[in-house]
C-alpha cells in the first residue's frame, strides 16, 4: 500500500512538472514510467527529458501508441486470419456445390436410362439416392446462406476496425495525422532509403489567442490553420500535429527548395484567414507562423528530424523570417 501511494504521488508530481492534464492516457504512461515496467518507454522518455524536449500530451500519446497500445495490431492480425478462413470456406463451398450438382445430374441420367435386369429395384435404389442428393443440396444451400451471413458480419467488423484505426491515426481536433503515425511512416521510408524532408509549422501567437480570447477561439484558429495545411500539402506529404502549437509535414523525395515553396503557399493561405470576434465584431490579430525546413542527413528517426525542423522554425522566428532551412 505504501509503495502504491508513493507511485501515485510520483505520477502526480510528474504530470504537474510537465504541465500534463491528468487524463487516463497521460496517467497510464506516467504510471508505467514511474513503475519502470517498460524498458523501451523509459529509455525513450528519459532521453527526451535529458535533451530538454517538450513533454506534452501529444508526445505522451505517441509513447502510448508506440509502446503500450498493441491491441490494434493483434486485432488486425486476427481479422486477417479470419478473412483467409472465410475466403477459403467460400472457395470450398463453390467447389463442393459444383461437384454435387454434377453428381446429381449423373444420377438423374442413370435413373432415366436404366432398362436391364431387375430395373424396378435398381430404379428405386437410384431414386432414393437422388432424394438423398437433394437433401445434401438443401443442406449445402443452408450452408451457403450461413456463410453469406458470416461474410456480412466479417465486413461489418472490418468497417468497425477501419473506424477504430482512423481514430487512432487522426487527431480529432485538427483532422491531421497523429505524431506516432508520422514516426511509423518515417521509419518505413528510412528503411527504403528514401530522402526525407520535414516542414515544422509553428503558430507563434496561439497562446496569445487563448489568453486574450479564450480556448475556444484558439481551437478555431488551430483547426483553420490545419485545414489550410491540408489544402496546400494535398498529396505531396503527410501533415501531422506534433505539439500543441506545432504541425509537421513529412515528405519523401522532395528537396528543401521545393519544401520551401510549399511552406510559402501555406503561409500566404493562412495570411488570408480572417478571424472576427463574435462579441465585439472586431477583427482579431493575424496568425503569426514560423516555418522550419529540415532535410534528413543522419537522423535515425522522425523525432530527430522533427526536432531539427522545430529548431529551424525557432531560428526563423528569432531572425524575424518566415522560414529557415536547416540542411
pLDDT, one tens digit per residue, over 191-203 is 999 999 999 999 9
pLDDT score for 240: 93
Q: What is the pLDDT of residue 169?
A: 83
Measure the CA–CA gap between 12 and 6, rounded to whole angstroms.
Answer: 10
Q: Is the pLDDT of residue 81 over 80?
A: no
pLDDT category of residue 327 using cuts at 50, 70 and 90:
confident
Give the per-residue pLDDT at 295: 94
Mean of pLDDT values over 193-217:
91
CA 104 to chain centre: 52
Q: What is the mean pLDDT of residues 2-28?
A: 81
| pLDDT at 92 > cutoff 70 | no
189 to 193, 197, 235, 238, 240: CA distances (angstroms)? 6, 11, 16, 12, 16
What is the C-alpha to C-alpha distance for residues 201 and 213, in angstroms, rounded to an integer?
A: 22
At residue 321, the pLDDT reads: 92
* pLDDT of the residue at 27: 82
What confidence tier does 120 reach under pLDDT thresholds 50, 70, 90? confident
Summary mean pLDDT of the chain: 82
The dihedral formed by the CA atoms of 220, 221, 225 and 230, expressed in degrees to the nearest 10: -10
**Cell representation of residue 71:** 491491441
Asked whether the predicted pLDDT for residue 105 surpasses 90, the reply is no
Indicate the pLDDT class of residue 54, thresholds 50, 70 and 90: confident
Q: Band of the pLDDT at 229, cuts 50, 70, 90?
A: very high
pTM equals 0.64
Provide φ and ψ at 211, rounded to 5°: -70, -40
Q: Which residue has the higher pLDDT, 37 or 277?
A: 37
Residue 79: is its pLDDT beyond 60? no
- Is the pLDDT score of 15 beyond 80? yes
Beta bridge partners of 246: 202, 243
Q: What is the pLDDT of residue 82?
A: 59
The answer to whether 238 touches 188, Cβ cutoff 8 Å, is no
The pLDDT, as a whole number, for residue 12 is 84
User: Is the predicted pLDDT of residue 309 greater than 90, yes or no?
Assistant: yes
pLDDT of 165: 67
Q: What is the pLDDT of residue 114?
A: 61
Which pLDDT value is given to residue 52? 85
Does the pLDDT at position 78 exceed 60? Answer: no
Tell me which of 55-64, 65-74, 257-266 is least confident.
65-74
Top pLDDT among 310 and 133 is at 310
- Rounded Cα distance, 106 and 124, in Å: 16
Lowest mean pLDDT among 43-47, 161-165, 174-178: 161-165
Q: Which of 16-25, 136-145, 169-178, 261-270: highest mean pLDDT?
A: 261-270
Q: For residues 235 and 205, which has the higher predicted lDDT (pLDDT)? A: 205
Please give the Cα distance from 195 to 253 (Å, whole number). Answer: 5
Pick 94 or 57 by higher pLDDT: 57
Taking residues 131-138, what's their average pLDDT?
Answer: 72
C-alpha cell at 160: 468497425
CA 211 to mean position of chain CA atoms? 32
Q: What is the pLDDT of residue 221?
A: 92
Amino acid at each position: 500500500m505504501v509503495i502504491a501511494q508513493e507511485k501515485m504521488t510520483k505520477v502526480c508530481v510528474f504530470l504537474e512538472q510537465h504541465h500534463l492534464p491528468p487524463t487516463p492516457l497521460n496517467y497510464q504512461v506516467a504510471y508505467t514510467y514511474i513503475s519502470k515496467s517498460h524498458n523501451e518507454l523509459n529509455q525513450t522518455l528519459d532521453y527526451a527529458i535529458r535533451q530538454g524536449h517538450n513533454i506534452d500530451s501529444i508526445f505522451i500519446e505517441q509513447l502510448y501508441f508506440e509502446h503500450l497500445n498493441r491491441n490494434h495490431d493483434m486485432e488486425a492480425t486476427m481479422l486477417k486470419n479470419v478473412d483467409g478462413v472465410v475466403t477459403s470456406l467460400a472457395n470450398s463451398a463453390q467447389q463442393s456445390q459444383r461437384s454435387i450438382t454434377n453428381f446429381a445430374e449423373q444420377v438423374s441420367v442413370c435413373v432415366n436410362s436404366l432398362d436391364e435386369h431387375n430395373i424396378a429395384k435398381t430404379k428405386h435404389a437410384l431414386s432414393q439416392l437422388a432424394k438423398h442428393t437433394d437433401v445434401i443440396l438443401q443442406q449445402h444451400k443452408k450452408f451457403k446462406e450461413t456463410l453469406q451471413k458470416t461474410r456480412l458480419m466479417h465486413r461489418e467488423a472490418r468497417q468497425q476496425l477501419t473506424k477504430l484505426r482512423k481514430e487512432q491515426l487522426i487527431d480529432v481536433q485538427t483532422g491531421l495525422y497523429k505524431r506516432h503515425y508520422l514516426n511509423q511512416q518515417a521509419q518505413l521510408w528510412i528503411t527504403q532509403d528514401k530522402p526525407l524532408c520535414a516542414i515544422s509549422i509553428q503558430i507563434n501567437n496561439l497562446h496569445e489567442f487563448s489568453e486574450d480570447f479564450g480556448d475556444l477561439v484558439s481551437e478555431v484558429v488551430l483547426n483553420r490553420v490545419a485545414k489550410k495545411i491540408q489544402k496546400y500539402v494535398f498529396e505531396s506529404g503527410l501533415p501531422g500535429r506534433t505539439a500543441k502549437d506545432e504541425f509537421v509535414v513529412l515528405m519523401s523525395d522532395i528537396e528543401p527548395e521545393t519544401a520551401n515553396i510549399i511552406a510559402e503557399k501555406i503561409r500566404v493561405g493562412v495570411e488570408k484567414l480572417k478571424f472576427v470576434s463574435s462579441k465585439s465584431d472586431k477583427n482579431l490579430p493575424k496568425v503569426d507562423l514560423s516555418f522550419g525546413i529540415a532535410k534528413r542527413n543522419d537522423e535515425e528517426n522522425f523525432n530527430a528530424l522533427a526536432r531539427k525542423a522545430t529548431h529551424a522554425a525557432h531560428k526563423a522566428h528569432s531572425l524575424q523570417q518566415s522560414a529557415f532551412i536547416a540542411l
